[in-house]
Amino acid sequence: MSASALTGMSALVVDDEEFMLDFLCMAVEKSGVGNVVSATSGVEALDQVEDRQQVFDIIVCDLQMPGMDGIEVIRQLANDGFSGGIILVSGKDKRVLKTAENMAEVRGLKVIGSLCKPMPVHEIISLMNKYAVAEQHASWAISNVTANELDAAIRSGEITVNYQPQVDSKTGVVKSVETLARWFHPERGMITPDIFIDIAERHDLIDALAESIIMQATQQGSIWHKQGIDLSVAINISLYNLRHLDFPDRITDIVNQAGMDIKKLVIEITESRLVQDLGTYLDILSRLRLKGPLLSIDDFGTGYVSMDHLKQMPFGELKIDRAFVNGAYKDDTARAILQSSVSLAKQLEMTVVAKGVEVKEDWDLVSELGCDMVQGYYIAPPMDVETFDAWLLNRCK
Ligand code: C2E
Ligand code: CA
């Protein structure tokens, strides 16, 4: 499946060292990419991209090059709106690669992965295959799902929610759940939120979607409350939802109608997107906070929100991105970022949630570093409400 997808793709490989350039081109060809073009400098690479004679699906780029370096190439590609995938290559330490990856992602580029020189051929092939499968899945879903279908699905209640527990790291008690949207398409099966949230944002359906999710989550929150189950309920909000000044009032109406205590609602907003237009959102975030819900800054570590910005904003909770949690026990850089995020949150008296805890070693590390709450497959995956209720009952036995 992936091999045939790669045959139709074209890649540009950029490296100033001749030997490395030949090696990378050979490995990319071996992975099955149909057309591989090489460039020996950043300037030559950008000329090739801007030439428009051919469109590249993948760019493999070395970071250290004389003249225009790889970071400058990335910046330019982002400015040009390059929509393919990028693989970063470096002979320096992993930290430089991680920073460059973050920078590229924050600028909206699709990073397939990064490679430390010297790398074995199979690492390149495996990255290429992973990308081909992901691209096929995304383009299949996007080309097959129309905004009209999504609109109909929101109205007819085809979009439902799953709940993933968050537990106290000291006691293991389940304190809250995160609500995650799911679309069970009658013919195409489950479509993930990564795909349909994007369509909803681009086709002005994000408000209808948010209202449907908030309604389902708060009605369920109210049921749990009546059953004597004390849980906070977190929802994810797109920045597009914050365009309307009456958003805080709309949320309050829905929560009141559902009969849920608004203080038990948590609103998660992703960090990397928040920095783009900070000032605009301060007004609406402050009003939202005044209505009672806890505001949570999600995927912390992927954006550039500074201590000063955090101080200005009414967030009470910080969720550390799983990139700095999962496997951090064996990765010095991730652990350092995790540790400094926890200490930053503590200074600002925020609750810290570690996301992506998948194994016991992750749990041990985040507990030791002082994260208050833990979420991830090690505890439980997202579940439909019946499965979640049964899981909770079993856990409380
Ligand atoms: P998120 O807010 O980062 O949500 C956590 C994602 O990580 C979920 O993916 C969850 O299934 C997954 N996850 C949980 N534990 C683990 C773990 O231990 N390891 C790994 N590798 N993954 C884990 P999901 O459900 O596919 O959601 C993807 C994203 O879509 C969410 O990321 C959130 O940003 C967005 N999203 C989901 N529901 C909504 C919604 O109702 N509205 C909006 N605006 N966005 C939503
Ligand atoms: Ca979230």
pLDDT (tens digit per residue) in 155-209: 999 999 999 999 999 999 999 999 999 998 887 777 889 889 988 988 999 999 9
Residue 168: strand pairing partners = 373
Residue whose pair of structure tokens reads 């009605």 in the numeric block: 219
Residue 269 alpha carbon to ligand 2 centre in Å: 7
* CA-to-CA dists, residue 322 to 37, 50, 194, 298, angstroms: 35, 35, 16, 10
Q: For residue 297, what are its two tokens? A: 């800054």
Q: Which domains does the chain have, with CATH numbers?
A: 2-142 (3.40.50.2300), 146-395 (3.20.20.450)
Name the helix (H) or strand (E) containing 39. strand 35-39
Residue 127 alpha carbon to ligand 2 centre in Å: 26
Considering every ligand atom shown, identify the ligand nearest to the alpha carbon of residue 379 and give its number: 1
DSSP result, 302-342: SS---HHHHHHS---EEEE-GGGTTTGGG-HHHHHHHHHHH
Question: Tell me, what's the pLDDT at 4?
Answer: 59
For residue 145, is it left (φ>0), alpha (ψ between -120 and 50) or beta?
A: beta
Considering every ligand atom shown, identify the ligand nearest to the alpha carbon of residue 182 and give its number: 1
DSSP result, 153-174: HHHHT-EEEEEEEEEETTT--E
Question: Tell me, what's the pLDDT at 80?
Answer: 83
Question: Tell me, what's the pLDDT at 105?
Answer: 81
Burial of 321 (0-12, 13-18, 19+ CB in 10 A): buried
- Which residue owns the Cα nearest ligand 1 atom 4? 180
Q: Largest Cα–Cα distance of the chain, in whole Å?
A: 69
Report which ligand 1 atom has the smallest distance to the Cα of 200. Answer: 44
- State which of 137, 159, 180 you would mutate to test the pocket of ligand 1, scoring each by most atoms of that ligand within 8 A of its C-beta: 180
Question: Tell me, what's the pLDDT at 58?
Answer: 94
| pLDDT < 50 regions, the chain | 1-3
φ/ψ of residue 110, rounded to 5: -95, 105
- Which residue owns the Cα nearest ligand 1 atom 11? 382
Half-sphere exposure of 346 (CA within 13 A, CB side): 10
C-alpha dihedral sign at 178, 183, 189, 190: negative
Q: For residue 206, what are its two tokens? A: 């994000």
Considering every ligand atom shown, identify the ligand nearest to the alpha carbon of residue 179 and give its number: 1
Considering every ligand atom shown, identify the ligand nearest to the alpha carbon of residue 211 and give its number: 1
Residue 22 alpha carbon to ligand 1 centre in Å: 39
Do residues 237 and 267 touch, judged by C-beta distance below 8 A? yes
Residues near 277 by Cβ (< 8 Å), separated by ≥ 6? 239
Q: For residue 102, what are its two tokens? A: 């973050």
Question: Tell me, what's the pLDDT at 52?
Answer: 66
Report which ligand 1 atom has the smallest distance to the Cα of 375. Answer: 15
Report which ligand 1 atom has the smallest distance to the Cα of 206. Answer: 44
Residue 319 alpha carbon to ligand 2 centre in Å: 8
Compute the distance between CA of residue 196 and CA of residue 58 in angstroms, rounded to an integer.
24
Report which ligand 1 atom has the smallest distance to the Cα of 193. Answer: 30
Q: For residue 19, what are its two tokens? A: 């030997």
The identity of residue 281, as a single letter, is: Y
Residue 190: strand pairing partners = 184
* Ligand 1, residues at Cβ distance < 6 Å: 164, 180-181, 192-194, 197, 213, 236-238, 298-299, 322, 356, 358, 376-377, 382
Question: Tell me, what's the pLDDT at 1?
Answer: 40
Question: Tell me, what's the pLDDT at 382?
Answer: 92
Question: Tell me, what's the pLDDT at 276?
Answer: 61
How many of the other CB atoms lie within 10 Å of CB of 46?
19
E strands, 150-224, where?
159-168, 174-185, 189-191
Residue whose pair of structure tokens reads 């059953």 in the numeric block: 227
